[in-house]
Amino acid sequence: MLYSLFSSINSLEIFKYLSFRSALAAFTAFFISVFLGHWFIKKLRTLKVGEDTTKTDSEELKRMHFDKKNTPTMGGIVVIVSVFVSALLWCNIYNGFVLLVMFTLIWLGALGFIDDYIKLTQKNAAGLTDVSKLLFQSALGLILGLILYFHFNKFAWGTQLVIPFIKDFKPDLGPVYILVVAFFIVVMSNAVNLTDGLDGLAIGCSIIAGIAFAVIAYLSGRVDFSNYLKIPYVQGSGELSVFCASLVGGGLGFLWYNCFPAQVFMGDTGSLAVGGILGLVSIIVKQEVLMVVVGGIFIAEIVSVFLQRYFYKITKKRIFRCAPLHHHFQFKGWPETKITHRFWIVSALLALFSLILL
């Protein structure tokens, strides 16, 4: 809204620059998140909306997280509101890609909210069933896949899979691209959700991924940089750098309260939404494979759960002491802050490496 207002004034042409609006978006989202978070935590404590850490099969985890019991949850609402408002103010809301990520933010945020609400209001409930969540995530993924398929189909690179560093090998997925988009949205949404098990872990890694994709979106949205780097030029995708900056700012504001010891948890409300929009941004800028590198921590977390579950079904033995992966290190005796900080370091190195691959 402010972008449309200021960009129409010739003396304020600086507002047309993506870099300037990205900085404004990050600061705006940060301050909204900090101020809203302070009020929101007080409200949640008044309503006694707290995390029940006893809803786990592991007695060891119950013991480890006993101090976290009744910590306010559903703090993802703060992230969603701060990102959404900042994007409304500083993004070109007539940009189709921006509308898609905002739609995804609301869809997955609503799904996570329903899941959290069921957990909080029904004593022994674990939220929505896995099948229910997968159905809603898959439905969103198919909608996004169809929209992007018909939009990108007119371009030579439209349904190609870009492999980082290998510039000349780009397999064309054709109509299968729709299913790949749906699968990727589901995987990334759940991957961030599974990572959200320690104070500051998921949001910290999401901030790092958001910074990386703010840069990548900026590069892919410019003809000169995309031609120089030999990556697909996606017209209009540069606007997503402003949206990613909003995510970074909103995430930093939330981390203010979510770092150890956490005053509030993100809950499924935030983790599902953040994972989904990170996945969608990577799809739009044609760097899905690169997202596996940038979000390597998220991928490691979801893969650890998958391996643990199916390896145990086949052999009745466990690969990890506990899954997701961060719990494995907890069971080895690592302090929570040590795990979180080292995962952040690895995430930052992977993000840097991903930019080198461009």
Task: Examine the pLDDT at 56 and tell me if it is beyond 90.
Answer: no
For residue 245, the model assigns a pLDDT of 98
Over range 215-219, report the average pLDDT: 96
For residue 158, the model assigns a pLDDT of 82
Question: What are the pLDDT digits (tens) for 117-160?
Answer: 998 887 666 778 889 999 999 999 999 999 999 998 888 778 88
Whole domain around residue 199: which residue ranges? 20-357
Indicate the pLDDT class of residue 68, thresholds 50, 70 and 90. Answer: confident
Indicate the pLDDT class of residue 46, thresholds 50, 70 and 90. Answer: confident
- Assess if residue 134 is contained within a domain: yes
Task: Examine the pLDDT at 346 and tell me if it is beyond 80.
Answer: yes
Question: What are the pLDDT digits (tens) for 180-209?
Answer: 999 999 999 999 999 998 999 999 999 999
Over range 151-177, report the average pLDDT: 84
- Assess if residue 177 is contained within a domain: yes
For residue 218, the model assigns a pLDDT of 96
- Assess if residue 100 is contained within a domain: yes
For the chain, the first-to-last Cα distance in angstroms comes to 33
For residue 358, the model assigns a pLDDT of 80
Task: Examine the pLDDT at 306 and tell me if it is beyond 60.
Answer: yes
For residue 28, the model assigns a pLDDT of 97
Percentage of the chain exceeding pLDDT 70: 93
- Assess if residue 13 is contained within a domain: no
The candidate with the shortest Cα–Cα distance to 281, out of 218, 202, 195, 335, is 218
Number of structural domains in the chain = 1
- Assess if residue 76 is contained within a domain: yes
- Assess if residue 9 is contained within a domain: no
11/245: higher pLDDT: 245
Given a contact cutoff of 8 angstroms between Cβ atoms, the answer to whether 111 and 137 are in contact is yes
Over range 60-70, report the average pLDDT: 75
Indicate the pLDDT class of residue 11, thresholds 50, 70 and 90. Answer: low
Task: Examine the pLDDT at 5 and tell me if it is beyond 60.
Answer: no
Question: What are the pLDDT digits (tens) for 268-282?
Answer: 999 999 999 999 999
- Assess if residue 15 is contained within a domain: no
Given a contact cutoff of 8 angstroms between Cβ atoms, the answer to whether 3 and 90 are in contact is yes
- Assess if residue 3 is contained within a domain: no
Neighbouring-strand partners of residue 172:
160
Q: Which of 52-56, 64-68, 344-348 has the lowest mean pLDDT?
A: 52-56
